[in-house]
Amino acid sequence: MSTAAAVPLIVIAVTHSVLGEHVIIRPLLAAPGWSVRLARPWADRLLRVIWHLLSVAWAGLAVLLLGASVPVVTGVVCLLTGAAIFACAPGHLSWPFFATAGLLALAAGGALPDAALWAGVVLAVVTALVAAGFHVAWAAGSRAGATRVLPTRRGTHEPTVRPPVVATLAAAVALSAYVGVVVALVLGAAGAGWRVLGVVVLVVLLARVVGDGRYVGILKRVRGTRFAHADDRWWTPAVGLLAAGAAASLALAA
């Protein structure tokens, strides 16, 4: 009976995406007369991906009826949803929440092996070291890649702040300290203090992902600037990767 129930769900999911794309989505996006409060290209991409993500959710229900693990299917659907939303609208508020829910669901289902956690740690450490190297280069006077790393006011390229050399070097030190904490945790450093440091690092990084409500993070209000685009596409996701690496190191140390 479960298989019989799963079949129509799969049929509905496929039909919804195939016919919906041709009958509803493409004609709607080709029509010049409709508008929303969002930028039209951004809204077009978001509308299309959400339409097809509904099909993904129905397919996930069908897989559950066929006997798959609830946490694993939930995790996969959440990760696919977060990845799709990030790909089409990186400034959207929901992708970090879907990604977090997906990873936690996979962990609850025992589908995050140590190899995956180690891979996350290695990727996060490499990212932190590269970022630290850039900060040292900027402190030394290099301008490579520096045009999109400082928040700017709307309608201008003028940075909201020009950090002194010591602040830039402090950022490099903080990134290096992040590497030290993560490596110490995965190598089994003794003492509860390392876990406390790991939790503190994780909380700070998650706070940066959420943002200050104005210039940085997923809650920023100043959008449309070069920095805001770079923050949506690169900087906030990179901080999210560092947070994932910290969480993975804590999991490996548990």
* pLDDT (0 to 100) of residue 43: 86
DSSP 133: H
* pLDDT (0 to 100) of residue 31: 86
Q: Which residues contact 145 (CB under 8 A, 6 or more apart)?
A: 134
Closest C-alpha to 25, from 55, 51, 54: 51
- The Cα diameter of the chain in Å comes to 69
What are the tokens at 58? 């129905």
How wide is the angle at C-alpha 24 spanned by C-alphas 18 and 26, nearest 5°? Answer: 85
Q: What is the pLDDT of residues 180-219, one digit of tens each?
A: 999 999 999 878 899 999 999 999 999 999 999 999 999 9
* pLDDT (0 to 100) of residue 155: 75
* pLDDT (0 to 100) of residue 28: 87
What are the tokens at 53? 């993500």
* pLDDT (0 to 100) of residue 233: 93
Distance CA 208, CA 242 (A): 11
Count, residues in the chain: 254
* pLDDT (0 to 100) of residue 181: 97
* pLDDT (0 to 100) of residue 237: 96
Q: Does 160 have pLDDT greater than 80?
A: yes
Class of residue 223 by CB neighbours under 10 A (exposed 0-12, middle 13-18, buried 19+): middle
Q: Considering the chain, what is the average pLDDT of its residues?
A: 93
- Report the percent of the chain where pLDDT is more than 70: 100
* pLDDT (0 to 100) of residue 118: 97
* pLDDT (0 to 100) of residue 33: 78
* pLDDT (0 to 100) of residue 58: 96
Domain map (residue ranges) of the chain: 2-108, 114-253
- Identify the residue whose tokens are 């700070």: 204
* pLDDT (0 to 100) of residue 19: 94
Q: What is the pLDDT of residues 91-127, one digit of tens each?
A: 888 999 999 999 999 999 999 999 999 999 999 999 9
Interhelix angle 165-186/236-253, rounded to 10 degrees, is 30
Q: What is the pLDDT of residues 77-96, one digit of tens each?
A: 999 999 999 999 898 889 99
Residue range 5-15: average pLDDT? 94
Global pTM reads: 0.89
